[in-house]
Structure 1
């Protein structure tokens, strides 16, 4: 929608949407680069990943095979994160065009919620898979599987479900708005 046709009360939302669309893309690229790049440095993996998955103080093998497996496993949640953030970016782009309530925006919101919920649901399994990958080449008796569920995982599922619910409500609001517009 051309900016001269946008309701003047929405100009702030439009500017904010355009800015946040760019910011979301920058954040997405930084998260992808750091999330995948960490696997290029065994020292970073040992300082950042190992304690996060519950293997602090436990011997880990940081050879090429385990680092490659860790990269492949980490690509799963990073892919989900990228998908979710791309949905958010599209929402902000819609705002930047003055689209505040639409069925498509509601669908994008639901998709983002699904990505957040899926992240929370998968986190314990990803952590367990990473613990196996990083200890598989250890001698027998020193291999490990670490399974943990954090409050962050639970909150991610709840927030994701909430966002899905808000998206469903917005889809209904868009349907009602479209129906009302057809009466005029």
Structure 2
């Protein structure tokens, strides 16, 4: 693969990552505003899918849920907290692809960005875990006594994401060391 072709692919990946960030945040908001998207089309993301689509609709037994505007706004905000951490990590990934498109393969900046991607994925998983009880209490606060929920989920995908985050962080550290060695060898020449 030529470096020009690799640069083009990297630039496309940077654009695709930006599209993913935007669509992820918009989809989360859309499912809160139009819950039928989740029930009818199976759309949803993370906390929104687990709470609004799966549990809340199963608890009410209805295909549509109407929450007051303030409760919907709070749900959007609470479910967006972990997604914003993930979006931050994806933005570092996008900037990493942009630096690869410029031919900056062995830079300490690229290694640092990769490390930030790993940390952001780990923070996303932790925030997802911490925000779920708050969001479930928020969404069901107006439900009759006995139907209010406080949920907490530990899922296999969360463990996989944490493992991948650790792997990415270790690889980033290795690339940082490789970048330092590359800089040292260039200074001797």
TM-score by structure 1 length? 0.87
Query: Cα gap change, 1:130/1:61 in structure 2, threshold over 3 Å: closer, same or farther?
Result: farther
Query: Counterparts in 2 of 1:1-150, with a 5 A limit?
Result: 9-44=2-37, 48=44, 52-53=50-51, 55=55, 56-59=57-60, 62-150=67-155
Q: Distance in 1 between matches of 2:130 and 2:32?
A: 19
- Alpha-carbon contact 2:82-2:124 (below 8 Å) kept: yes
What is the alpha-carbon root mean square deviation over aligned residues?
2.1
Q: Distance in 2 between matches of 1:150 and 1:79?
A: 20
TM-score, scaled to structure 2: 0.85
Instruction: Note the residue ranges of structure 1 that are not aligned, 5 or more in a row.
Output: 1-7
Checking the alignment, whether the CA contact within 8 Å between 1:61 and 1:137 is kept in structure 2 is: no
| Number of equivalenced pairs | 177
**Matches of 2:68 and 2:29, distance apart in 1:** 16
Q: Which has the higher contact order (CA 8 A, sep 6+)?
A: 1
User: Which runs of 5 or more residues in structure 2 are unaligned?
Assistant: none
**Residue 144 and residue 19 in structure 1: after superposition, are their counterparts in 2 closer, same or farther (change >3 A)?**
same
